[in-house]
Structure 1
Amino acid sequence: MTSEQWTAIAAVSAVVISLVNVGLSAFLVRRQEGQKWVREQLPDMVKLFTDAAHRWEVKTFEVDWAAIPSVDRSDHGMEEAAETFALMGRLEVFAKPTTISAAREVLHAIEDIRFHCLTSLPEGGNAEKPWNLYWAYAEARHAFLTESRREMGLSDPPLPPGLANRRRASARPVWWRRLLPMRAESGVDRRARWVLTGPSRGRRRALNDDQR
């Protein structure tokens, strides 16, 4: 093979390598720009979704279902539900699978509250508030915020005080739990909160007598 042929091959190889580098650089730039755009979109979507889910939860949990005519109960809160599901669809386009799964758990938790309220209302009376389902929603909401913040490169959010008290309640012995309702007001959101106290002195004496 002559020197001219080797020179031509080298020139063609240089052109090919140059084109590959240009194409790879363009791909990486587009990918970085796409990731940057997603990171810029995600915070707003997370906030919109959590706000909409909260409005749906309040409309479902806080309401006096006995005061709603039976023919209207199936439609109650559907406007808030439609808004939340629409935002869920946007999250499914931009967010990571772990964030999407956590968001779905929030929706499932609210749906569980709604199903309980629709099916457990006694005739002529008020049903007990499904606090166990509310705390499941609170756990799901916190898990979603944790996953979404991790996706955005942020630290985990602090545990809400009410949820922290709930976890401490679950960790303590049953005989030590005495739940006292305490009202907490935040704008239009009014929710019964629970504070933990130990048993009273008389109660402790009675418990000790029972154990003897």
Structure 2
Amino acid sequence: MPLSVLLVDDEPLVRAGLRAVLEAQSDITVVGEAADGAAVIPLVRELRPDVVAMDVRMPLLDGIEATRAVLRTVPDPPKIVVITTFENDEYVYEALRAGADGFLLKRSRPAEIVHAVRLVAEGGSLLFPAAVRSLAARYGNAEARATLERAALTEREAAVLRLMTRGLSNAEIAAELIVGTETVKSHVSAVLAKLGARDRTQAVIAAYESGFVSPG
């Protein structure tokens, strides 16, 4: 069954461009569109998309609040990728902290857009560019550091988390550590549970905010 995507952006041209890129793929279908975050929850409940591509800045309800609302009120919520013009926009980072699974620049190449949708649908995390890693470090606080200390990650779990911050897939992590993919899946699950993270993206945010890894 094709991956289903809901497009949410107040610019019709942006939605049209994303639709053209995504529907050129045989394994992706766009099931709906919305011009504001206020329309997201009813559409998600009706259409049950796998992924929502959500603009950050919208007139009535922005992508941050729309993301929070979806994750708070919709059972088994879709993956959310926020789309933005500027990668160093603090709105982007707030959306990631609110639970978005990644973000895309509106100037991204078609192949990058398709890759991002497929990756988050599979539960992967997108590599954060330098600007976002710097924002994450700037948001660092004692609470984040305490959470990581309480997690008491094993040496292998810590190694897995470091590789997760590089945006590596389970298969790529397995190749780096010379272990089986199932072993990596177990370590990833343990890391998420110990950090209280919803998914890989939230674990990566915790790693940067706690100072476990640095932007460099």
TM interval, short-chain normalised: under 0.3
TM-score by length of 2: 0.27
Structure number with higher helix proportion:
1
- TM-score w.r.t. the length of structure 1 is 0.27
Larger Rg, first or second structure (1 or 2): 1
Q: Which has the higher strand share?
A: 2
